[in-house]
């Protein structure tokens, strides 16, 4: 895929590989020219973002979809590390928590984080993705 034709760079961070496949299929129906990468935990995502920041900053994700519960580095730790490293100082990435948690505590904690745009309950569907991208493209 030619990077000039990409409408959005997207990173999904989730240890459930099936969820990542479903996410990619749903997003591709809405944004066929999107570039989607997946990481299975927060640490792998941090490593990837550091590499992108150092080698190809134009490929830094426009959107990050973040699960909360993962091994090695969970979503909360990822957000803390991303803030600490300051590899997205202009906050160009729009971060959405994408979780199966129905805990009000998780939802409120996510929404109170200044780096998080919104909390989305799994499973993701086409309508949710269309809403996100229509809102983001309008701004």
Residue 17, preceding peptide bond in cis (omega within 30° of 0): no
Retrieve residue 109's tokens. Answer: 């904690």
pLDDT above 60: residue 59 = yes
Residue extents of the structural domains in the chain: 3-138
E-strand stretches of 40-115: 63-66, 94-99
Residue 4, pLDDT score: 36
Per-residue pLDDT, averaged over 94-104, amounts to 91
Residue 3, pLDDT score: 36
Retrieve residue 13's tokens. Answer: 């961070």
Provide the phi-psi class of 86: left if phi over 0, else alpha when psi is between -120 and 50, else beta.
left
Q: What is the pLDDT of residues 2-25, one digit of tens each?
A: 333 447 899 999 999 898 999 999
pTM above 0.85, yes or no: yes
pLDDT above 60: residue 86 = yes
Residue 31, pLDDT score: 85
pLDDT above 50: residue 53 = yes
Per-residue pLDDT, averaged over 48-56, amounts to 91
Please answer whether residues 75 and 21 qualify as being in contact, where contact means their C-beta atoms are separated by less than 8 angstroms. Answer: no
Residue predicted with more confidence, 8 or 67: 67
Rounded percentage of the chain residues whose pLDDT exceeds 90: 55
Per-residue pLDDT, averaged over 88-105, amounts to 86
Which sign does the torsion angle of CA 53, 26, 99, 112 carry?
A: positive
The pairing of strands 63-66 and 35-39 is: unpaired
- In angstroms, the first-to-last Cα distance of the chain is 26
Fold exhibited by the domain 3-138: Rossmann fold (3.40.50)
């Amino acid at each position: 895929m030619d990077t000039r034709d990409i409408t959005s760079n997207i990173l999904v961070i989730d240890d459930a590989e099936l969820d990542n496949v479903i996410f990619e299929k749903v997003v591709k129906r809405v944004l066929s020219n999107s570039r989607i990468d997946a990481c299975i935990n927060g640490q792998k995502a941090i490593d990837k973002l550091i590499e992108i920041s150092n080698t190809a900053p134009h490929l830094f994700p426009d959107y990050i979809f973040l699960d909360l519960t993962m091994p090695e580095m969970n979503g909360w730790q990822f957000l803390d590390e991303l803030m600490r490293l300051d590899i997205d100082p202009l906050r160009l990435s729009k971060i959405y928590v994408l979780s199966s948690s129905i805990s009000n505590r998780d939802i409120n904690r996510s929404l109170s984080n200044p780096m998080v745009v919104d909390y989305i309950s799994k499973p993701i569907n086409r309508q949710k993705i269309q809403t996100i991208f229509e809102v983001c493209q309008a701004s």
